[in-house]
Structure 1
Amino acid sequence: MSHSHNHVHIHKHEVEGKNLVFSIILNLLITAAQVVGGLISGSLALISDALHNFSDVISLVFSYVAHKLSRRKASINNTFGYKRAELIAAFVNAFTLLLVAIYLGYEAILRFFHPEPIKSGMVIWLAILGIVVNGSSVLLLKKDADHNLNMKSAYLHLLTDMMASVAVLVGGLLMKFYGWFWVDGVMTLLISIYLIYVGFDLLKSSTKMLMLFTPEHIDIKEIVREVHKIPGVGKLHHIHVWHLNEEELHLEAHLDCAENILMSEFNDLLHELEIVLFTKFGINHINIQPEFKKEDPKDFIVQD
């Protein structure tokens, strides 16, 4: 029995960790300003925005550490390195988004039934500051978020912060000109609902990757059909397809050869298979166990 582990490498977007550092500094400043402003003005929406900002600071720090860990080289004790660290960070960040959302929703409902007078002028100016700071952070991470789930989790934290600041600004203006203090609770509730929406989607995506689920865009049966078109292939079975991280899509399988070929001939066959899997499915790490008339289950998916 022999194994072949082949890699097809592609040019990938290099994520800049320094953008996270800038975002951390900016969010620390706005968090401090909003806490002071919220206490002075009595605005729950402002306090909730500050709480969310602080959770962002923690999430951004966590994302930065995970980003650095993921760049460490593999070793004898860590044969994959720390490549899944960013998936863990994305999962934790998504989970904290949901926790913050639930807490804010609870507080918003209480405030809605018991509205309190709020110094709307301070709320307005701090909301504008929040929009500027969070908007800047969002722009810093936008490009990285398109290529990395960890960065996307940090980006979503900041994007929802910016939207929260916009909601706080609208609420502050309504309170200033119309005296609608109940708007503070309503805006906070809307913020929490949106956080639940984006947080759950991110939590689902990161969980699927951590659980090694087959990626949604991959059709196992289609892979088998394409591989079976290659001359010399008998049957592809015992198939596993998973994301190690967002950059590496792995396939592991047994390949029943049509003939009792030499290993050098199998290398050529494997090269063809490698090209098909990469060009048609984006699979860039392949581990194939060659077989010939071996007595074992030949189902596509077999519980090992």
Structure 2
Amino acid sequence: MGHDHGDHSHEGHGHGGHAGHSHGVSADADKRWLSIALGLIVVFMAAEVVVGVVSGSLALLSDAAHMLTDAASIVLALIAIRLAARPPAGGYTYGLKRAEILSAQANGLTLLLLAGWLVYEAIERLIDPPEVAGGLVLVTALVGIVVNLAAAWALSRANRTSLNVEGAFQHILTDLFAFIGTAVAGLVMVLTGFARADAIASLFVAALMIKAGIGLVAASGRILLEAAPAGIDPAALGRHLAEMPQVVEVHDLHVWQITSGQPAMSAHVLVTPDADCHAVREEIETWLRAEHELDHSTLQVDHLESGPAGGEHADEHCADPHGVVYRQG
């Protein structure tokens, strides 16, 4: 019996409540909110560097350095949005949608590198604390809290389901907590004269940066390494497909993310000799969309081969199936 192939693929750009959010008009809205946050950060960062040098505060300079990575993360996000909007061309069959994932990874790595430098500087200051103008530190940090609240609000209006925008948002949120810690350090220095409070606040900033950086690197790394999206268990998915009516075996099952919010799947499905390949494929696709928001699926559906004595067998259908083979029962 010849094979009846039911190959089919289609792509959806939106899922659930954030349908199509990273494209078209909404992408323009993202750029507008990101630009507003960028303007707020750059203006305040310049002022903070001056005050940090005058007051001798490492906490303020570390906050300013972190704000520089905030600004860089937003610039990267804006560039990534522009690149991701380009249509597929040449060898880039998905376009440049993963530019935002590279941006998120760069954001995470800069956070980790900067945190390492801050830890080193803060430890030196704990050993030999310099004189710090606590009043200037307190006032600047309080203004920084207001500026970061405004920037965080602007970014919260953009599409945070994008790992790219979420990376920039995490930078801002980390900086907000850092300014709160710096304000507390400034208050302690004003009230008690305890100069090491500045270095302790810097260590607090570094800890926040490490936490945010690891999260971003891990999330973007999963996408770059083609891991299954969070919330989708490939083994459970394969077992369920193998138990669907008229399906005998599923192999070469792969689940990955093209970019944030765009999961994809491919699989080779064997069905009983009397099954309607196209009907089975449509049933599988309907289930994938309803249960897992998997709108981009590529399924090869074939009839099960007959053995020499007329029996059915699937053992030699593929010479080298990738991954686990799921069979009914």
TM-score range relative to shorter protein:
over 0.9
Pairwise mapping of residues 45-124 of structure 1 onto structure 2 (< 5 A)? Answer: 45-124=59-138
Q: Is the 8 A contact 2:189 2:197 kept in 1?
A: yes
Q: Is the 8 A contact 2:238 2:253 kept in 1?
A: no
User: Among 148, 153, 165, which residue is 1:139 paired with?
Assistant: 153
Partner of 1:288: 299
Q: Is the 8 A contact 2:8 2:300 kept in 1?
A: yes
Q: Is the 8 A contact 1:6 1:274 kept in 2?
A: no
The SS at the match of 2:289 is helix
Partner of 1:4: 8
**For residues 324 and 84 of structure 2, what CA distance do their matches in structure 1 show?**
31
Q: Bigger CA drift: 162-171 or 14-23?
A: 14-23
Structure 1: gaps (5+ residues): none
The SS at the match of 1:259 is coil
User: Among 174, 194, 206, which residue is 2:208 paired with?
Assistant: 194
Q: Give, as a single letter, the amino acid of the residue that structure 2 aligns with 1:117.
A: E
TM-score calculated relative to the size of structure 2: 0.86
Q: Give, as a single letter, the amino acid of the residue that structure 1 aligns with 2:292.
A: F
Cα distance per residue 1:132-162 (max 9 Å; x no partner): 1111111111243641111111001111111
Q: Is the 8 A contact 2:277 2:302 kept in 1?
A: no
**For residues 259 and 223 of structure 1, what CA distance do their matches in structure 2 show?**
23
The SS at the match of 2:187 is helix
Q: Is the 8 A contact 1:227 1:276 kept in 2?
A: no
Cα distance per residue 1:66-91 (max 9 Å; x no partner): 11211111124321011111111111
Partner of 1:279: 290
Cα distance per residue 1:189-244 (max 9 Å; x no partner): 11101211121122111101111012232122221232234322221111110011
Cα distance per residue 1:34-69 (max 9 Å; x no partner): 100011111111111111111211111011101121
**For residues 249 and 320 of structure 2, what CA distance do their matches in structure 1 show?**
8
**For residues 88 and 324 of structure 2, what CA distance do their matches in structure 1 show?**
29
Cα deviation, residue 301, structure 1: 1.3
Cα deviation, residue 260, structure 1: 5.7
Superposition RMSD in Å: 2.0
Q: Give, as a single letter, the amino acid of the residue that structure 2 aligns with 1:4.
A: H
Q: Is the 8 A contact 2:171 2:212 kept in 1?
A: no
Identity across matched positions, percent: 30
Q: Give, as a single letter, the amino acid of the residue that structure 1 aligns with 2:39.
A: I
Partner of 1:126: 140
**For residues 261 and 174 of structure 2, what CA distance do their matches in structure 1 show?**
26
The count of residues paired between Structure 1 and Structure 2 equals 300
Structure 2: gaps (5+ residues): 306-315
